[in-house]
Copies of this chain bind each other. A is one copy, B any other.
Amino acid sequence: MRRTNSDFMTGVPELLILKLLISRDMYGYEIAREIESANGEGLSISEAILYPTLHSLEKRGCLKAKRKTVNGRTRVYYSATKSGRVRLNSMMAEWQRITSIVSEMLGRRADASIR
């Protein structure tokens, strides 16, 4: 049973895509499968947001694309650029900042205690 995305997803696809592409080059379809399998199918990125996000990251210079044909199918491999790594860093910091504040306001123990 695959979960649909939630209301709290804005920016999350981009964040996870950049995070994955830091560790190794991947192609779109592979990224989608990876995100699903990485969390027991608790979260999935629809292809309708995945591909446009990859394109916009590439246009902004955060990613580099390279087409490769494997077994008669074309894959577009993406790699993170320096600019992509910088962007990931600031996005992760921002994610940490917002979730800490919200979690604290919701009454959970502050995220500041972990890490």
Give the contact-size bracket for chain A.
35 or more
- Chain A residues near B (Cβ < 8 Å): 6-12, 15-16, 19, 35, 38-39, 42-43, 91-92, 94-99, 101-109, 111, 113-115
Residue of B nearest to A109 (CB): B114
Quickly give the copy total for this chain.
2
Given contact pairs A39-B105, A96-B108, enumerate 9 new A-B contacts (beta carbons under 8 Å): A7-B10, A7-B91, A8-B99, A12-B98, A35-B105, A38-B105, A43-B101, A95-B106, A111-B114
- Which chain B residues lie closer than 8 Å to A107 at the CB level? 19
Residue of B nearest to A35 (CB): B105
- Which chain B residues lie closer than 8 Å to A39 at the CB level? 101, 104-105
